[in-house]
Amino acid sequence: MTPAQFIQRRTPDWRALESLLQRMELSSDRKLSPDEFLSFGRLYRSACTDLSLSGAWRLPRHVQLYLEDLVSRSHSHLYAFHNRRRLGEIKAFFLDLIPRAVFSDRYVRICLLAFYLPFFMSMYLAYQSRPFAVAMVGETHMEMFEDMHSREKEDPEPGDMIAGTGFYVWNNAGLAVLTFGIGILGGVLSLVMVLFNAVFLGAILGYLMTTPAAENILSWIPGHGPVELTAIAFAGAAGLRVGFSFVAPEGRRRLRALREEAAAAVPVLVAAVTMLFIAAFLEATLAPAVLPIPVKFAVGGATLLLMIAYFGVNGGLRHRLHLRREAARLQAERRREPGTEAGGLRHAQGGRASGRS
């Protein structure tokens, strides 16, 4: 075969690849059908082979440059598609899987109740009774927190905000890891950790509301409090789920149950860690800022509404859509099985027909 014959034979594939590239460059990869994507991969590999053989075939220089351009453009689109797919998976994880997992997780509901009910009860009792606060927190800790929040406030410097964010991130991440990690012992310790934090923090806040530090604490807590406290409950829920699977594997081998429930707990744990990062940033920047208390309550209210919309509304919609898709998938699988009702009916009709004959 001569170089001219080689070029004549391969030109249709080169033109086809160039046509696909032009469509991808003018619009989007999403405009291509699955068959066209498969064709794109085949044509790209063939063009790479042709380029590698161009020297051996002694193809003209302009043909070699044309093939180099085709391969280079194809390579860019191929890996850009993989990057977009990876970004799509990340988007689906945060917008679909996390809110759906949190909404449908019974351990999340258990830990939210186990945190907020004792938290508000402890706050009320500590506000009404100093001896209760002393019993729950200790005299030393009460004096320390009162002194900490009685100081005159100043607007933080940028360096202080950065350092504070780092400190609170480290502190919050450590709390989340501890609350989750101790759940491996049957899940009980994660629940105990949630209850302990609820009673301890509630008692501190209730007591401080009876001291001269009340105004400062009202200025400090509202912005980041809803996010941080909810994240503690989420971390406990993830630990409770993993630990309880070892105690009650529900017919599975214990190690298998542990692996499966640990994977199911990942979205809730990621939500907890992400929320603690957000809370750390707000605590380092908004909490010490000299701003009107209503402004900080507005920020806290906005974060609370965002959590309700993200986990409650969006999570509920995603969960119901997921259930419908799963039901449709199972129904389609039953229709494909030979032993389904439809298949049995056709078999019975065939049997009656053969009996009549």
In tens, the pLDDT along 253-266 reads 988 888 899 999 99
Supply the DSSP string of 252-289, one letter for each residue: S-HHHHHHHHHHHHHHHHHHHHHHHHHHHHHHHHTTTS
Q: Give residue 246's pLDDT band: very low, low, confident or very high (50, 70, 90).
A: confident
Find all residues with CB under 8 Å of 286, minimum gap 6, and list them.
223, 224, 296, 299
pLDDT digits (tens, 9 = 90+) for 79-132: 766 555 667 678 888 999 999 999 999 999 999 999 999 999 999 999 999 999
Residue located via tokens 């190690």: 255
Whole-number Å distance between alpha carbons of 184 and 186: 6
CA 329 to mean position of chain CA atoms = 24
Q: Per-residue pLDDT tens for 300-348? A: 999 999 999 999 999 999 999 988 888 887 887 787 665 544 444 444 4
Sequence spans of domains, the chain: 3-92, 99-334
Q: What is the pTM of this model?
A: 0.70
pLDDT at 291: 87
- The single residue listed with the structure tokens 């419908």 is 324
The H or E element that residue 176 is part of is: helix 158-181
**Closest C-alpha to 17, from 55, 69, 90:** 69
Q: State the DSSP code for 286.
A: T
